[in-house]
Chains A and B, each alone.
Chain A
Amino acid sequence: MALLDIQNLRITYDTPDGVVEAVRNVNLQIDKGETLAIVGESGSGKSQTAFATMGLLPHNAQVSGSIKYQGQEIIGLSHEEMNKLRSNEIAMIFQDPMTSLNPYLRISDQMAETLIYNSPNGKRMKKKDAIAECVRMLEAVKIPNAKNRIHLYPHEFSGGMRQRVMIAMSLLCRPKLLIADEPTTALDVTVQARIMDLLVELQEEFHMAIVLITHNLGIVAGSCERTMVMYKGEVMEQGSTVDIFGKPSHPYTQGLLSAVPRLNQDEERLVTLDRSFETQMAEG
């Protein structure tokens, strides 16, 4: 049985400018200890799929299909049950660090809180121990001078540091499934490499499954076994990363891969996507 099994997921919104179909007919499975990359156009429904898995869609979202975590259906789960899952089993790194951190609380309080109430071994942790553990985690994500910095407020951190705080926070409770929504957008390549090392390390240690949503195809190439490509709310193709990068079968994937800018190229204009495949496909 797959750890996470999504079948025919469809998410729609009724907005004044018509029905928005954010996600349509998405199927995906992920096993223990596996890493799945979701790539695709901006606005193609990657985050919406992640939110649905976390039970965090806004009230006005209409969801159909099924999301099973260890065989248990998540759609329609009560608030309490979902909270329990979120605190012990599934963790998410949000795309937008500033809006997901509480601006009024010190980082130490926000981080320690998760540990105190859901420590991995089930016992209630002392605040001092919790903070020490948080500092260790912040050091692991390369926050300099973490011991003092942990007592600052979110706005006193740089964009990339906030993102690393989010990463550290999500890893504190040793989740079995980690959904990382563009976790390294604000990080330079050296720190990014460290973070990916950390994730791989934890994955090997705790058999954590990772769903990595990213635009950085270099990271996908380096650390994800499988890749899923999304476009306009639908899955275009999925399969092993080596296959997809080697011989992409869908014209969108081909376009995406050819648009990756490289350090050693010197063209005047960056390559954009040739969208002619949309009409071609529609015509037959």
Chain B
Amino acid sequence: MMVDVQKMEQLADNLAVQEEVQGRSLFADARRRFLKNKAAVVSLIILCAVLLFSIFGHMITAWSNEEIDWGILGQIAELGAPSIENGHYFGTDQLGRDLFARVVQGTQVSLMVGIVGALIAVVVGTLYGAIAGYTGGKVDNVMMRIVDILQSIPYMFVLILLLVVFGRSIFMLFVGIGLISWLDMSRIARGQTLTLKNKEFVEAAVATGVKPITIILRHIVPNLLGVVVVYSTLLVPQMILTESFISFLGLGVQEPNTSWGAMIAEGAGAMQYGTLWQLAFPMFFFIITLFSFFFIGDGLRDALDPKDR
């Protein structure tokens, strides 16, 4: 029960540390937390490697993605296997084209499609859902019915219509992806917004007189981020697969260009001839990218949540 003098001294020392504090940005904080997550960092490195591979890969091979190696055509199963000597590092495809060059080029397309699709979903879908959910009432009803309608129209029909009207181009591929990618996201964002809307801190912002659009951007959207980020990393592989479907319809990437989806389909078809490498290489890239996105998404969600450290 005695007053401990030493204790009080320490206490006063505690109080003496009153130096100026640095500003603290959400971004710098998030980066610090992200870097602590080993799986996420490794994944990020892998993803960067894949990206570099897609950009600079064509420099280290003599072959292009459309040249046919006439020397091995017809004997793919015997001569087309991966080998350093003839320069086909990943082997060749059924037509004798260099698989390495094709994977490099396919990676460009697929990564682009995945990332653009996810971005559209995040930006358009989140905002759309948040606005619908926050405004509520008639506006919400109309906005969500539009989503219903877009989702109920057969996708193939829309694509064919686009193809007929605008002709084929890589640009149309992104239009096609953009059209569907945000629909599910907007529903998820709306659902979350409905529950956030009743939270007291949103009520406090309303009582303060903050304008609705500011409330959405400052109070709702940041609190949606966790769900949004996770869902969008699931969306990336879905978009990559959708691309192969669109391409199959003749809207997207056209021969001799290719993509992961197309190559995996071809590789799977050619398996019966014993050319397993045609499936293995594109599949390998597809899978490591999937996993990377998954872990990065997980890391991002934790990093963006100030509560979790």
| Residue ranges of A at the interface with B (Cβ–Cβ < 8 Å) | 16-18, 21, 24-25, 58-60, 98, 103-104, 155, 231-232, 234, 236-239, 243, 249-251, 278-279, 281-282, 284
Known: A16-B21, A58-B309. A250 touches B3 (CB 8 A): yes
Please, what's the 1-or-0 string for B1-37, where 1 marks a CB less than 8 Å from any CB in chain A? 1110101111111110101011010000100000000
| Given A58-B309, A278-B8; A232-B14 close (CB under 8 Å) | yes
- Closest residue to A14 on the B side, CB-wise? B309
Residue of A nearest to B6 (CB): A281
| Cβ-defined contact, B195 with A249, below 8 A | no
The reply to whether A281 and B22 form a contact with Cβ atoms under 8 Å apart is: no
Q: Note all chain B residues with C-beta closer than 8 A to A16.
A: 21-22, 24, 29
The reply to whether A17 and B12 form a contact with Cβ atoms under 8 Å apart is: no
B85, CB-defined interface residue at 8 Å: no
Of chain A, the residue at the smallest CB distance from B309 is A60
Tell me whether A282 and B12 are in contact (CB under 8 A). Answer: yes
- Chain A residues whose CB sits within 8 angstroms of the CB of B14 once the complex forms: 21, 232
Query: Which residues of the other chain, A, contact B152 by a CB distance below 8 angstroms?
Result: none
Given A103-B195, A249-B3, residue A98 in contact with residue B29 (CB < 8 A): no
Q: Is the CB of B1 within 8 A of A239?
A: yes
For the complex, count residues of B whose C-beta is within 8 A of A: 26
Q: Point out residues on B near A: beta carbons under 8 Å.
A: 1-3, 5, 7-15, 17, 19, 21-22, 24, 29, 195, 198-200, 307-309
- Given contacts A16-B21, A16-B24, A103-B198, are A249 and B309 in contact (CB under 8 A)? no
With contacts A16-B29, A59-B309, A104-B195 known, is A284 near B5, CB below 8 A?
A: yes
Q: How far is the CA of A24 from the CA of B21 in the complex (A)?
A: 23
B17 touches A18 (CB 8 A): yes
- How far is A238 from B1 in the complex, measured between Cα atoms in Å? 6
> Could you say which residues of chain A place their CB within 8 Å of the CB of B10?
24
Whether B5 contacts A155 by the Cβ 8 Å rule is no
Among candidates A104, A155, A281, residue contacting B11 with C-beta atoms closer than 8 Å:
A281
> In the complex, which residues of chain B have a beta carbon less than 8 angstroms from the beta carbon of A58?
307, 309
The distance in angstroms between the C-alpha atoms of A224 and B14, with both chains bound, is: 31
Q: In whole angstroms, what is the CA distance A104 to B5 when docked?
A: 51
Expressed in whole angstroms, the minimum distance between the Cβ of B238 and any Cβ of chain A is 27
What is the bound-complex CA distance between A265 and B1, given in angstroms? 31
Q: Nearest A residue to B29 by beta-carbon distance? A: A16
In-complex Cβ contact of A234 among B11, B15, B199, B308 (8 A):
B11
